[in-house]
């Protein structure tokens, strides 16, 4: 069974090995690569169709981006306003500095109801803080109700995608998990509809009898104290409507100024995430509605590193993320490694800039310090991002921070292969004779290329490069040799 090792205090934001090592394991799993490749390619084409329908898509993205910048600039007043309005409408607001504190608050609130189980709506914030594991240790059973979360929970697995945590599983694997873990489900096929029906039957009783639900929130509206949850299956509505007590854990960056601002986000989010004009269900509630839904409502506002991200003028844009996962679906790195290689509950391009900033990094060997390098900087993520987070720029910014940290240290001097390589290249390229000599030496590379005309293993220090990439075989003739040969007559 794989579980997050986690980090004390902050939860599931850091893996236990650096990205290159984790990626190597993932790349060797051809089933995983097939599953993720298939799913990401399906959604890419659909997303393009969904946004092509909006001739004001770029204007919506610009508005979404500006709205989030405004939120960050006015975060203290907006949070206080949200707290005020939730409280006035019968809710109770709690604040948590880190994951541990949030977990304790939620567990205490559940215990106070006398219940020892909760139903859960899919929520990145509670994944992030490892709430399920904490509750289990406290003797409280947490039932995930989102289909993909259920697949992950029943498979004793960990999530690998923000929107579809079980994206690394195909239908046959899901059928196997359900057959093993749901003895009452009877004979199952691997038809997605049959599997969805099995989940419905499995959770129906739970929904109708649950006393306490735990959710996240997509948006919290400062102006009114309204919370919003965007979902598809109706499991969210079940959790937000039927239990007596509702506990919502929300990252502080999820606040938006006004109700009208949702006119932007409710266009950007569904089309970017599931590539639909609108997701099947969105629920909005404000405190307690007498006679309708939970009569006890708690909102837990979570920091857990967000203020650390906010302090970085460039990096803070990572907090604009609305968790649509479009950047994962278009990323050539994510497509090949899947989400587990990133170690954190936030994988893919957004994870590569969010996780290291949320946790801070302790040095070269910190797995999160390797994440900003897990990118080819192709820019597909920026182009797909509905709130225009310039992920490549933040990746480069974080890389620079990492290199600066190491400059002047023993490691920086001895092991910075990059520095050495650049200096050597600079020397070789600055003289015609030296360059010509280097070209001749390169041609020797043909001797070690394989039958596929690629070089896949070189001795140290070049092994650092070939460990994860092939080098194409050098051409038999350099440009200058070709020129001399074909233009010999002109020279005479």
Residues 6 to 35: which contact another protein by CB under 8 A? 35
The strand ranges marked E within 121-259 are: 141-144, 212-215, 219-221, 226-231, 245-251, 255-256
Cβ proximity to another protein: between 283 and 361 the closer is: 283
Instruction: Please give the residues from 304 up to 363 whose contact with another protein meets the rule CB under 8 A.
Output: 307-308, 310-313, 316
Alpha-carbon distance 264 to 266, whole Å? Answer: 6
Shortest distance, position 461 Cβ to another protein, whole Å: 38
**Site mask, another protein, residues 141-170, x = CB under 8 A?**
----xxxx--x------------x-xx--x
Q: How far apart, in whole angstroms, are the C-alpha atoms of residue 159 and residue 152?
A: 6
Tell me which of 5, 21, 48, 112 binds another protein, using CB under 8 A.
112
Pick between residue 34 and residue 434 the one whose CB is nearest to another protein: 34
Q: Which is nearer to another protein, 22 or 330 (CB)?
A: 330
Binds another protein by CB under 8 A, chosen from 9, 29, 66, 390: 66
What is residue 279's three-state secondary structure? coil
Quick check: 410 binds another protein (CB under 8 A)?
no
- 70 binds another protein per the rule CB under 8 A: yes
**C-alpha angle with apex 15: 9 to 16, nearest 5 degrees?**
105
CA dihedral 233, 237, 238, 240 (to 10 degrees): 140
| Residue 439 interacts with another protein (CB under 8 A): yes or no | no
Answer for the pair 322, 163: CB distance below 8 angstroms, yes or no.
no
467: helix, strand or coil: coil
159 within 8 A of 149, measured Cβ to Cβ: yes
In the DSSP assignment, the letter for residue 187 is S
Q: How many amino acids of this chain bind another protein (CB under 8 A)?
A: 104
Cis check for the bond before 461: say yes or no (omega within 30 of 0).
yes
Nearer to another protein, 304 or 370 (CB): 304
Nearer to another protein, 172 or 424 (CB): 172
Helical (H) or strand (E) element with 455: strand 454-455
Is position 97 an interface residue for another protein (rule: CB under 8 A)? yes
- Options 213, 221, 327, 398; binder of another protein; rule CB under 8 A: 221
Cα gap 203→135, rounded to integer Å: 19
- Interacting positions 259-298 with another protein (CB under 8 A): 259-260, 262-264, 266-267, 270, 274, 276-286, 289, 291-293
23, 82, 93, 345: residue in contact with another protein (rule CB under 8 A): 93
């Amino acid at each position: 069974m794989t579980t997050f090792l986690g980090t004390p205090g902050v939860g599931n934001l850091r893996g236990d090995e650096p990205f290159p090592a984790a990626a190597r394991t993932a790349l060797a799993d051809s089933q995983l690569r097939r599953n993720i490749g298939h799913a990401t390619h399906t959604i890419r084409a659909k997303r393009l169709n969904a946004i092509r329908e909006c001739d004001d898509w770029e204007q919506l993205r610009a508005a979404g981006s500006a709205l989030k910048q405004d939120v960050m600039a006015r975060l203290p007043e907006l949070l206080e306003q949200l707290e005020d309005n939730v409280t006035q409408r019968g809710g109770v607001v709690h604040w948590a500095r880190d994951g541990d504190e949030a977990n304790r608050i939620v567990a205490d609130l559940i215990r106070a109801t006398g219940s020892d189980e909760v139903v859960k709506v899919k929520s990145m914030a509670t994944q992030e803080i490892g709430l399920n594991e904490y509750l289990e240790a406290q003797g409280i059973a947490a039932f995930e109700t989102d289909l993909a979360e259920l697949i992950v929970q029943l498979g004793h697995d960990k999530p690998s995608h923000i929107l579809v945590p079980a994206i690394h599983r195909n239908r046959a694997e899901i059928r196997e998990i359900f057959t093993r873990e749901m003895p009452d489900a009877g004979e199952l096929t691997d038809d997605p509809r049959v599997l969805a029906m099995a989940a419905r039957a499995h959770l129906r009783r739970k929904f109708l009898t649950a006393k306490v639900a735990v959710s996240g929130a997509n948006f919290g509206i400062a102006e009114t104290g309204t919370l919003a949850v965007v979902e598809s299956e109706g499991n969210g509505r079940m959790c937000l409507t039927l239990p007596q007590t509702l506990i919502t854990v929300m990252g502080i960056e999820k606040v938006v100024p006004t109700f009208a601002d949702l006119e932007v986000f409710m266009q950007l989010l569904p089309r970017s995430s599931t590539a639909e004009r609108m997701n099947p269900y969105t629920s909005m509630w404000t405190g307690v509605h007498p006679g309708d839904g939970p009569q006890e409502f708690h909102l837990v506002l979570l920091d857990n590193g967000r203020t650390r991200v906010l302090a970085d003028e460039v990096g803070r844009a990572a907090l604009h993320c609305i968790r649509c996962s479009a950047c994962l679906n278009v990323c050539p790195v994510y497509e090949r490694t899947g989400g587990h290689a990133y170690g954190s509950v936030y994988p893919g391009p957004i994870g590569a800039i969010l996780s290291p900033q949320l946790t801070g990094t302790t040095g070269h060997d910190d797995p999160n310090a390797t994440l900003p390098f897990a990118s080819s900087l192709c820019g597909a993520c920026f182009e797909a991002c509905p709130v225009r987070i310039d992920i490549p720029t933040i990746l480069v910014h974080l890389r620079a921070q990492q290199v600066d940290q190491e400059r002047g240290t023993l490691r920086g001097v001895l092991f910075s292969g990059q520095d050495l390589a650049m200096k050597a290249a600079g020397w070789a390229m600055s003289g015609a004779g030296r360059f010509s000599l280097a070209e001749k030496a390169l041609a020797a590379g043909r001797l070690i290329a394989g039958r596929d005309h690629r070089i896949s293993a070189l001795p140290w220090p070049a092994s650092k490069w070939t460990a994860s990439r092939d080098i194409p075989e050098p051409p038999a003739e350099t440009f200058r040799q070709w020129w001399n040969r074909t233009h010999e007559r002109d020279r005479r």
